[in-house]
Each structure stands twice: as C-alpha cells, then as structure tokens.
Amino acid sequence: MHKPIKFAVIGLGHIGKRHAAMIKGNPNASLVAVCDVLDANDTGFNDPETPYYKSISELLDNELEVDVVNICTPNGFHASQTLEALEARKHVVVEKPMALSKQDAEQVIFKALQVSRQVFTVMQNRYSPPVKWLRQIIQEERLGKIFMVQMNCFWNRDDRYYKPGGWHGTADLDGGVLFTQFSHFMDIMYWLFGDICNIKGNFGNFAHRHSTKFEDAGSVVFKFVNGGMGSINYSTAVWDRNLESSITIIGERGTVKIAGQYMDDVSCCHIQDYEMPELEPVNPPNDYGGYKGSASNHAAVIENVVETLNGNTEVATNALEGMKIVDIIERIYQVRGPGEEI
C-alpha cells in the first residue's frame, strides 16, 4: 500500500524542471508547489494548476501538507535552504552537492537527526546499470585486492554554459567543477572504494580565465584508506562537446574499464573465471541544449524517495555519504589552494 508523497520543488532551472516532471510522472507522488525567485515566464515553468511561490518561507507557510522539499537551486544555497526545509519538518531531496563545505553538511545532518527527517542526496550515477554491476563485482571481491583506480572526466563547458551574470563560474554559488560537474563521479569512486588520503595534485585554468573563478583542469593522485592507489584527471576545457567519463580498475584478479561520454559503456571486463552478464540499457544523458550532462536517472531518485518514505526500501544515497563527497572535494581543493591564484 502506497501513501501518496507530496513534493515541492525549489529552483526551476533545467534540473528543477526535470525533478518536477519526474514527480508528475510517478503515480505515487504529486507536485503540490514550486518556488523560484524568477517569475514563471522567466523560468518557463508553465503549469497553472501548481501554486508558484517566490520564496521558500512563503511556500512553507502556505503549503503545510508538503512531505518533501526538493532543493534544485545553485550549489551555494543548498545547505541553508535544506536547513530551512528541515526546520519546517519536511524531508529533503537536495541536488548535488549537498553543501560547499563539510561544516555546512554536518549542520544539515545534525538538524535532520534533530527533527527526525530524511535527507536524500542526488547522486544519480548510482542507478546506472554499468555502475550497479561494478558495485556488485567489487562487493563480491571478484577483482581481489584493488591495486589501482583511474578516473577520467573530460567534458566541454564553454561560454554556452558560463554566461555573464549567471551563477555558474562563481566561487560562492558554484564552488568549482568538482562540485558542479563531477561530484557524482567522485561519489561513484567513494561508493565503490571508500575514502581517500595522501592527496596531491596539479591544477590549471586554461580556457575559462574570463568566465570562472576556479580551475578548469586538474590531475589528482591519492591513496585509498582501504588499500590501493587512485587518480582523477578532469577538465571542462574540452573543445565543443564532451569527450568521456571513464573509470579503470586494476585488481589482483582482473581489469575493468567503464567508459563512454557518460560512463555508460563497459569497454573492458577481463576477470579470472568470470563471464560478464548482459546489462540493461543505459538512460540517455540530460540534454541542456548547448551542452550535455550525465545519464538522466532522476526518475529513479524520486522513486527511491517514495519507496523509502513508504517503508519499502532504504535511502539510496544518504546525507552522510553526501557529506563525505563534500569532504573529499574540499580536501582536494585544499591542495589546490585559492581558485583565483591558479
């Protein structure tokens, strides 16, 4: 038996509108209100039946029956707006990253525990069939000891994305490409292999000196607390379109590589005494017009919220995991130093 879950969406950019569509598409969910500082004409959200508010406080004061608040605003607002929703005793779905500092993420977790509400962090790549399969073989220890992991994230984010006057590229609201573009890949690495230490790195801003307050490329090496070594090479300076997102794992008993533009293709599986099963198809990427993002798995995120709040499953990505990703990125950026000095 399903109790219908009532959602409100805060922030009506590309992702906020996507959340709204996924909520409307779930038979056990309903969209009861939305909120954005811009007018409906400016956001392009055309649904006269859904109440439209200009502030979160106004929405929370008027829509008392809301169960879940989805935070889909610029990164720098995520923590404070999550706290505001928790204060009103609402469950929260917060887009990646859940905060721009570990300290803010800890405040969110403390408040959630205090008011006995769930915080769901959006890490949609966990729903990707190749990643789910990879998680399974790591848990089954098919590869034996993990020796080395390499992650490459090479994307295009040019002036079609970093527009003058927008929040993308700012230090306070964006925070950096590891937060905005690649935190869900950092999440996959953490989900599979755990925490990292001994971080070293080189960073540069090659194509975005006029448009961002932080690096557009980095090469980071580290060790895993659980054993083995790893590296992340990333860039948003790829010309014209995304190149790839990939992860290569070299283990005691085998080698695996998942590649493709959105980490959607198992390009190598060579494991002792193991035959790879056929995987279900991958969802297409989020398409933002001039640029593309990761595979679109937001329907699975909404489904997980509905099922969790009905007591049928557990949170797919909990707030503690969300905080760990913020912590890892923050530690990498401590190695980088102040963004504007690059």
CATH number (domain holding residue 150) = 3.30.360.10
Q: Is residue 341 part of a domain?
A: no
H/E element holding 56? helix 56-62
pLDDT at 43 (0 to 100): 96
Range of the domain at 19: 5-121
Q: 283 and 158: one domain?
A: yes
What is the mean predicted confidence (pLDDT) over 307-327? Answer: 96
Give the separation between CA 65 and CA 8, rounded to whole angstroms: 10
- Amino acid letter, 232: I
Domain C-terminal end among 103, 121, 139: 121
Q: Do 201 and 221 contact (CB within 8 A), yes or no?
A: yes
Q: Is residue 321 part of a domain?
A: no
Q: 135 and 251: one domain?
A: yes
Give the separation between CA 15 and CA 51, rounded to whole angstroms: 19
pLDDT at 134 (0 to 100): 97
Model-level pTM?
A: 0.94
Considering its fold, how many domains does the chain have in total? 2
Give the separation between CA 308 and CA 302, rounded to whole angstroms: 10
Q: Is residue 334 part of a domain?
A: no
Burial of 49 (0-12, 13-18, 19+ CB in 10 A): exposed
Give the separation between CA 339 and CA 27, rounded to whole angstroms: 45
Q: 88 and 212: one domain?
A: no
- CATH number, residue 95: 3.40.50.720
pLDDT at 287 (0 to 100): 66
pLDDT at 293 (0 to 100): 56
Q: 85 and 189: one domain?
A: no
Q: 85 and 154: one domain?
A: no
Q: 150 and 102: one domain?
A: no
From residue 83, alpha-carbon distances to 37, 105, 119, 219 in Å are 18, 10, 10, 34
Q: Do 69 and 10 contact (CB within 8 A), yes or no?
A: yes
> Cα-Cα-Cα-Cα dihedral of 47, 51, 55, 61, to 10°?
-160
Q: 62 and 135: one domain?
A: no
Q: Tens digit of pLDDT for each residue in 64-107? A: 999 999 999 999 999 999 999 999 999 999 999 999 999 999 99
Q: 49 and 133: one domain?
A: no
Burial of 27 (0-12, 13-18, 19+ CB in 10 A): exposed
What tokens does 314 get? 């557990």
Q: Is residue 312 part of a domain?
A: no
Q: Do 104 and 323 contact (CB within 8 A), yes or no?
A: no
Q: 48 and 95: one domain?
A: yes
Say how many CA atoms lie within 13 Å of 338 toward its Cβ. 2
Residues 6+ apart with CB under 8 A from 284: 295, 296
Q: Is residue 41 part of a domain?
A: yes
Q: Is residue 250 part of a domain?
A: yes
Q: In what order do the strands lie in the sheet with 5-10?
A: 52-53, 29-35, 5-10, 68-71, 91-94, 119-121
Q: 274 and 134: one domain?
A: yes
pLDDT at 53 (0 to 100): 98
Q: Is residue 87 part of a domain?
A: yes
Q: 67 and 97: one domain?
A: yes
- Poorest-confidence range of 173-182, 213-222, 294-303, 323-332? 294-303
pLDDT at 338 (0 to 100): 75
Please tell me whether residue 278 adopts helix, strand or coil conformation: coil
Q: Is residue 277 part of a domain?
A: yes
Give the separation between CA 194 and CA 197, rounded to whole angstroms: 10
H/E element holding 112? helix 102-115
Q: 186 and 273: one domain?
A: yes
What is the mean predicted confidence (pLDDT) over 1-5? Answer: 86
